[in-house]
Each structure stands twice: as structure tokens, then as C-alpha cells.
Amino acid sequence: MEEKTKKPIYKKWWFWVIVVLIVGAIGMGNSSDNTTSSTDTYKKNTSVEVIIADFNTMTRDEAQVWFDNNKINGKITDEYSNTVTKGSLISQSISANTVAHEGDNITVVYSLGKEPTTEEKNALKKAESYSSTMHMSKSGIYKQLTSEYGEGFTAEAAQYAIDNIQADWNANALAKAKSYQSTMHMSKQNIYKQLTSEYGEGFTAEEAQYAIDHLDD
């Protein structure tokens, strides 16, 4: 009986079906990779460039506005410096006129001025206490700090305290005025005189007038 000759596998129809499916799958995979790569390249190429400013010409507030307007992640810090004056720029982590991109990070350091001595720090703490608890005026605090019958600080330490204290002098004048009104039942005219007197509270005319204008609020 005559034997049938077997066909090679590549001549069978189902073999070519499998080949077509495999080639198609590989092609789709490559197409997907190319699409992703093209998209990534597009994103990189369209990233908005920003020319970094020279922050030495800006205040802290102006630097923050620049960060916001240019969509840069800016961090503003302060350090003491014996060589850079208070409020001036010490350093910026990306040099001026350098090309950066939206979303980049940059740190800007401004000077707090010369680091205060222990005497100056103590004078400032005393000044803050007099302002917050006794609502004293700027000149009244200075006198108390330097008086030999008061705190006995040096003129330099007292001046440092006055220059660096964060106080609302209008609010202090108003608090004093209300105290005179409620405890001593003084008239507005006499309260004004007491607030501005050199031997009284030592507030400025503007601060005293603010107090009088808001005394009945």
C-alpha cells in the first residue's frame, strides 16, 4: 500500500494564521511604545521655560510675587549675616539669567542682618513684654529699657529692641486710652494730653489721635 507524503508544516493553513496573529500583536506593541515615546517627547518639548530673575534687586515680598507669577516653587528663608545688610539677598540656589522651567524648585536666602548679642536679645524680649502686657509706647519702652531705675540696658541694646519689635503702636495707644477712660473717667481731651505727654505715655500725635477716634468703638 502506497504511503502518503506528509506536507511540511509551513504549507498548512493554520500555520500561517498563527504567524499573522503573532506579527500583528508585535506590531501593535511597537505602535503603543512609539505613541508613548512621542507623547513624552511632546511634553518635554513644550515645557515652559523661565529665565531666573536676579533676586538681589527684589524684596522678600517681590520675590514671592515673582515665584507665583512664573509658577516656580520658591522657598524664601532668612539667615543672620555679618557682611550682608538686613533685607538684602545672601544667595539664590539657581543663578540669575539661568534657564529653568515651570515647576522647578529654587531657594532664596535673605539677610536678617548682624546676629544680635545676648544683651540685645534680652532687651528685645523685655520690650515685647512691655508692649504686650502694659501697652506702652515706643518711646516709653525705650526709656524703661535704658533707665537706671528700670532695666538698665545699654542705648545700643535698647535701640536694637525698638528697631526689631513687632508692635501695633496704634493698638497700644487705644488700650491705654480705654484704661484711662474706664478707671480714671478722664475726658478725651485729657486722655489725648496724657497719651502724648513726654512725662506721660509718650505716644506720637498720630497714635494718640487714632486712640481718641476709636475710643468709643
Domains of the chain: which residue ranges? Answer: 49-111, 116-167, 168-217
DSSP labels for 126-175? HHHHHHHHH---HHHHHHHHH-TTTT---HHHHHHHHHH----HHHHHHH
Average pLDDT per 10 consecutive residues for the chain, totaling 217 residues: 54 62 65 50 64 94 96 95 94 96 96 94 98 97 94 96 96 97 96 94 97 95
pTM exceeds 0.75: no
Measured CA to CA, the distance from residue 6 to residue 57 in angstroms comes to: 89
pLDDT > 70 fraction of the chain, expressed in percent and rounded:
79
The answer for residues whose C-beta is within 8 angstroms of residue 45's C-beta and 6 or more apart is none
Q: Which CATH class is domain 116-167?
A: mainly alpha
Q: Which helix H or strand E contains 111, and what residues bound it? A: strand 105-111
Question: What whole-number distance in Å separates Cα of residue 75 and Cα of residue 22?
Answer: 54
pLDDT at 22: 73
d(CA 30, CA 46): 24
The pLDDT score that the predictor gives to residue 51 is: 96
Q: Comparing 49-111 with 168-217, is the CATH topology the same?
A: no
Confidence at residue 66, expressed as pLDDT on a 0 to 100 scale: 96
Tally of residues, the chain: 217
* pLDDT at 25 (0 to 100): 65
Give the C-alpha distances (Å, rounded to integers) separating 39 from 33, 34, 161, 187: 10, 9, 59, 77
CA-nearest of 125, 147, 138, 193 to 170 is 138
Which class for 184: exposed (0-12), middle (13-18), buried (19 or more C-beta within 10 A)?
A: exposed
CATH number for the 168-217 domain, one of 1.20.120.450, 2.60.40.10, 1.10.10.10, 1.20.120.1770? 1.10.10.10
Sign of the CA dihedral with 173 first, then 193, 161, and 83 last: positive
Is residue 164 within 8 Å of residue 125, measured between CB atoms?
no
Residues 6+ away with beta carbon under 8 Å from 64: 74, 76
Neighbours of 29 (CB within 10 A): 10
Residue 4 corresponds to which cell in the numbers above?
502518503
Alpha-carbon distance of 82 to 67, in angstroms, equals: 28
Pick the CATH number of 49-111 from 3.30.10.20, 3.40.50.300, 3.40.50.720, 3.20.20.70: 3.30.10.20
